[in-house]
Amino acid sequence: MNDDSSIVRLAAMLRDEADRLRPGDKLPSSRELMRLHGVSPVTVSRALGRLAAEGLVVVRPGSGTYVAPAVARAEAAADLSWQTVTLGDRVVDDTDVVGLLTPPPEGVIPLTGGYLNPMTRPSRALSAAASRALRRPDAWDLPPLSGLPELRRWFAQEIGGDVTPADALVVSGGQAALTHALRALAAPGTPLLVETPTYPGALAAARAAGLRATAVPVDRDGVRPDLLAEAFAVTGARVFLCQPTLHNPTGATLSLERREQVLAIARAAGAFVVEDDYARYFATAPVPPPLAALDAHGTVVHINSLTKVLSPSMRVAGVIARGPAARRLRAGQIVESFFVARPLQETALEFVGSPAWRRHLSTLSTDLTARRNALVTALTSMAPAAEIHLVPRGGLHLWVRLPPDLDEDVVVETARRAGVLVSPGRIYYPAEPPGPRIRVTHSAAVHPAELTEGVRRLATALGGARSHDFS
């Protein structure tokens, strides 16, 4: 099925209905729209989102969707087509990232997403840390532009080796860190080496920066050093972006030997390695030290974010860099966003300096292990045709290969209709994917029991995908 066409059709029908109604009249509920038109919750949500963006309806959470006042609709009718010519053909595509960030509709089980569910987050401890932080007399003062000294010291100590607080820069979360790093290290139009598959947000940031993402294959042990060396030689790239610990989406972790090989290859190429260490706190078994701790030559730009391990709104990350690269990163942050809000930095510092931080990590390790095992067990017993790439040493996801005769998009849409969300594998590839795959997440479901029910729905979708035609 072409999901976009379903959204367009439903939006057109709702647009006609809104035109027939009076301002303030209520449209049918999402559940009623699903029943009447035979569409998924996601299709309803996106169709209503389009009408809201056009100013035709007003969505009131917990109440419903209403026809917008006439004034708002008149303002929305302005002809903005002139912008198409003025903007040109440079497109920033957020589709894949938005899909990962959009909350699931009621009754739908999320086996996708990149954050901890509300029950797993340390929300109370974060609120207590925020209260303490805001009581500080300088909480609303201008912070040091590179970040609070104590927070920079903490990020440096987390890496170890000879990293110092002077090497650390505090930025607004991991995605901002990726964007800053790519813009600072690579010029528009130049190649960027990335693992394949890889995190869709990284691919979107690279394209937005005008970089040409070139794929370097991974196996069960992470990126292949032989193919990395070949890619540097063929492309002339000067930046390699990687996730050496619990790689997203495969879950692979680079051995110490491979980490040393990656550093040696990058140094020989005169290239930087951007180490996205997003999962360092999700490891449930010992992993090798970060690349940055092994680096003595300024090769590595290291990113450590608190967002995924704490809360989506804890947009605080540390970037470790040295030399001219560090100066360029700092200058880029100042030009683009000045600094990270001091209250947020103070809250992060309060939390990681409290006993609640270690308690959270201990509890999280136990929870993630149980969730991973439950998801593996459910997939193995109820969906044996879906082959798990590997059982990782922690993390949030499982990478699953589908039978080659299945259409990945059909599987994902059938699963949506069955009430479970999974991530399509194609969004993780910078080029053509090698076959149908999906990423299945165990951290987003609120209760572990939902994982079993989610896999049951997915198994039903896998069986139905062979007989459904959504074209």
One pLDDT digit (tens) per residue for the chain, 471 residues: 345 677 888 888 898 888 888 888 898 988 888 888 888 888 888 888 888 888 888 888 777 888 888 655 555 566 777 887 888 777 777 777 777 777 777 888 999 988 999 999 999 999 999 999 999 999 999 999 999 999 999 999 999 888 999 999 999 999 999 999 999 999 999 999 999 999 999 999 999 889 999 999 999 999 999 999 999 999 999 999 999 999 999 999 999 999 999 999 999 999 999 999 999 999 998 999 999 999 999 999 999 999 999 999 999 999 999 999 999 999 999 998 899 999 999 999 999 999 999 999 999 999 999 999 999 999 999 999 999 999 999 999 999 999 999 999 999 989 998 999 999 999 999 988 899 999 999 999 988 889 999 999 999 988 876 655 444
Architecture of domain 95-121+358-465: Alpha-Beta Complex (3.90)
Q: What number does CATH give the domain 123-353?
A: 3.40.640.10
Read off the tokens for 134.
């805001």
- pLDDT at position 164 is 93
- pLDDT at position 77 is 61
- pLDDT at position 64 is 84
- pLDDT at position 319 is 96
C-alpha angle with apex 305: 352 to 312, nearest 5 degrees?
Answer: 90
- pLDDT at position 471 is 42
Task: Tell which residue, 120, 107, 10, 125, has the closest CA to residue 57.
Answer: 10
Positions of CATH 3.90.1150.10 in the chain: 95-121+358-465
Question: What pTM was estimated for this model as a whole?
Answer: 0.81
SS3 letters across 145-160 = CCCCHHHHHHHHHHHC
Positions of CATH 1.10.10.10 in the chain: 3-87
Positions of CATH 3.40.640.10 in the chain: 123-353
From the candidate CATH numbers 3.40.640.10, 3.90.1300.10, 1.10.10.10, 3.40.50.300, the one assigned to the domain spanning 3-87: 1.10.10.10
CA distance 125 to 231: 46
Task: Tell which residue, 266, 355, 360, 255, has the closest CA to residue 306.
Answer: 360
- pLDDT at position 76 is 56
In angstroms, the first-to-last Cα distance of the chain is: 4
**Is the Cβ–Cβ distance between 309 and 147 less than 8 Å?**
no
* 312 contacts: CB under 8 Å, gap ≥ 6: 115
**Is the Cβ–Cβ distance between 242 and 276 less than 8 Å?**
yes
Read off the tokens for 333.
């942050």
Three-state SS at 388: strand
